[in-house]
Amino acid sequence: MAAGTHSLLPVRGDDTALPPHTDFADDTVELSFHLDAFDMHEVIIDGTRYYAIDKEKESSIHEKGLPELPKICRSIIIPDDKKMAVRVISAAYIEYEDILIAPSKGFIERSIDPDDVPYEFAPIYKEDIWFPGEIATLQEPYILRDFRGQTVEIYPYQY
């Protein structure tokens, strides 16, 4: 297993980063995300070329054996007395063919050398489904000082 090339792929015609837009009205929070580009790092696993996808300043899905894909997490302030739900109003995508996504090694303790942890492939790699499937989810609400908040997780990349 060895690391190879690194590529930056624009998602739109330009690579200008647009910040997320938030709009509050009628007990509704509207979030808009416009993705600009992502990084691809080549990873060779058992002689086959895979890619690790990276979105600068964002976390990834770190579940061992599952495709390592970026996710965007944002906390929002929500009403004290409402149960929130998430709904994707519109989404567009670009499909890249013949690109294999490397699996995650999971969370690795600092005392362990990541190169010593082998790649494992979960059964999802043999299934004909989208992963992670949902484009957006909500975490459990929380209280921070005088505010009630909730984290929105956006999964802009599917495998």
Amino acid residing at 47: G
Q: What is the pTM of this model?
A: 0.77
pLDDT, position 26: 66
pLDDT, position 9: 43
pLDDT, position 78: 85
Alpha-carbon gap, residue 83 to 141, rounded angstroms? 9
DSSP states of 75-130 = EEE--TT-------------PPPS-PBPBB-----TTS-GGGSPP---GGGGS-S-
Alpha-carbon gap, residue 121 to 112, rounded angstroms? 20
* Domain coordinates in residue numbering, the chain: 2-154
Phi, psi of 47, deg, nearest 5: 80, 0
Amino acid residing at 142: Y
Q: Which residues of the chain have pLDDT under 50?
A: 1-19
CATH number for region 2-154:
2.60.40.3800
pLDDT, position 110: 94
